[in-house]
Each structure stands twice: as structure tokens, then as C-alpha cells.
Amino acid sequence: MKFSTREDIEAPIEFVFDQVSDFAALERSALRRGAEVQRIDDKPQNGVGMMWDTAFEVRGKRREMRLELTEYDPPSGMCFIATSPSLHCDLVLDLVALSRGRTRMSIEMELKAQNLSARLLVQSLKLARSSMFKRYEMRAASYARDLEDKYSRRA
């Protein structure tokens, strides 16, 4: 199952990349939303190989996944792989400079089931695809507006 969205952000690509790669801030944001996030690597700076153990609720069931940064290409984007015994998720974040002060952010996520119970979960998500996709797009749009607000306050 694939989700993808694009948002245009009124901020330079370097600023946007700095914000989307501020992993400490993203960890705090996930914690505020009820997820558990624990960084498990010992890398002193951002780069390939960073890893987190995460736990969160989906459809009333606790899910645990390991998230790994597999590509890190400043300021163009990043790729992550999230794995668990039952699910595999590829996440690609691409940034393109549309102009000096405008950036297009593309986020693509593909969810793959690894066993029968995960197939049932993915199938239920497919049945609710339109509402899930709306929530996905709204969350990305909200994040893009937050980045624009941060940039305008800074500038």
C-alpha cells in the first residue's frame, strides 16, 4: 500500500532540510503524540546508519518497529526503512528547490505486509484508504505550514 504527497514550502531548501533532519525535535514531537521513541545508534552526527526503536498504537494494537536511515543526501532528501516481524515500510523524503525561497517536499511511504495478520491490517487500511490518505495529506500540509511559520519568524 502506497501513500504519497507533495507540499510546496515558502522557505529555502537548506532551511527545510535542516528542519526535516532535526531528529531530536522529531523524536520529541512523536513522544508528544503518544509514540515511544528510543535512539539506538551512537553516531555523533546525522548520517546513514542512524536507528531508532519505536512503539505506537495502530487500530488499537501496539506496534513496534525499528527505523533506520538508509540514505542521507543533504539537502536533497533522505530514505528510511522501518521493519517489524509483520510489516516493512519504505519512506522516501525528497526536496527540490523550486526557487531561491521555495521548496517542494515530496513524501512517499510504501507499506508491505510480511505475514497474515499484517495482511489483514493492510487490507483494513486499504478499505479506509480515502480517509487515511486525507489524514496523511493533512498531516504533511500541517507540517509544511509549521516549517513556513518557523522560517518567517526566523527571517
Helix, strand or coil, per DSSP, at residue 141: helix
Residues 78 and 71: beta-carbon distance below 8 Å = yes
**What would be the CATH architecture of the domain defined by 2-154?**
2-Layer Sandwich (3.30)
pTM of the complete model = 0.91
Q: pLDDT per residue over 64-97, tens digit each? A: 999 999 999 999 999 999 999 999 999 999 999 9
pLDDT value of position 20: 97
pLDDT value of position 91: 98
Q: How far apart are CA 61 and CA 13, in angstroms?
A: 37
pLDDT of residue 40 exceeding 80:
yes
Tell me the pLDDT band of 127, cut-offs 50, 70 and 90: confident
Q: How far apart are CA 139 and CA 113, in angstroms?
A: 23
pLDDT of residue 155 exceeding 70:
no
Domain boundaries, the chain: 2-154
